[in-house]
Amino acid sequence: MCGLSLVVPPSSVLADETVSEYDIAIDLATMLQSARSIIGGNQDLINDPTLGDKGLSAAVVRERALEKFSAAKGGAMPDLSGDSLKSRLLKAQVDAISKVMTEHQETINQPGIAFKGFVPAVFARLVNEEFKRTMGEEAEVKVTAPPELIRNRKARPDEWEVEAIRNKLSAPDWEKGAIFSAEATGNGRPAFRVLVPEYYSQGCLACHGSPKGELDITGYPKEGGNLGDLGGVISVTLFRK
* Helix residue ranges per DSSP H, the chain: 16-41, 43-46, 58-72, 85-103, 105-108, 120-135, 159-164, 205-208
CB of 197 to ligand HEC, least distance (A): 10
The answer for residues whose C-beta is within 8 angstroms of residue 204's C-beta and 6 or more apart is 1, 3, 225, 231
Of the listed pieces 21-29, 141-149, 165-173, 174-182, which binds ligand HEC according to CB under 6 A? 141-149
Which DSSP state fits 230?
E
Of the listed pieces 25-33, 58-66, 131-139, 217-225, which binds ligand HEC according to CB under 6 A? 217-225
- Position among 6, 150, 162, 184 found at the interface with ligand HEC (CB under 6 A): 150
Residue 169 near ligand HEC by CB under 6 A = no
Residue 208 near ligand HEC by CB under 6 A = yes
Residue 3 near ligand HEC by CB under 6 A = yes
Of the listed pieces 21-29, 130-138, 182-190, 202-210, which binds ligand HEC according to CB under 6 A? 202-210
Of the listed pieces 7-15, 45-53, 143-151, 169-177, which binds ligand HEC according to CB under 6 A? 143-151
# chain residues binding ligand HEC, by CB under 6 A? 29
Residue 107 near ligand HEC by CB under 6 A = no
Q: Find the distance separating the first CA and the last CA of the chain, reported in whole Å.
A: 34
What DSSP letter does each residue of 38-85 carry, written as one string? HHHHTHHHHT-TT-S--S--HHHHHHHHHHHHHHHTTSPPP--SSSSH
Cα gap 189→119, rounded to integer Å:
32
Which DSSP state fits 224?
-
Cα gap 208→226, rounded to integer Å:
8
Interface with ligand HEC by CB under 6 A: which residues?
1, 3-4, 119, 121-122, 125, 143-145, 149-152, 155, 198, 200-201, 203-204, 206-208, 216-218, 220, 231-232
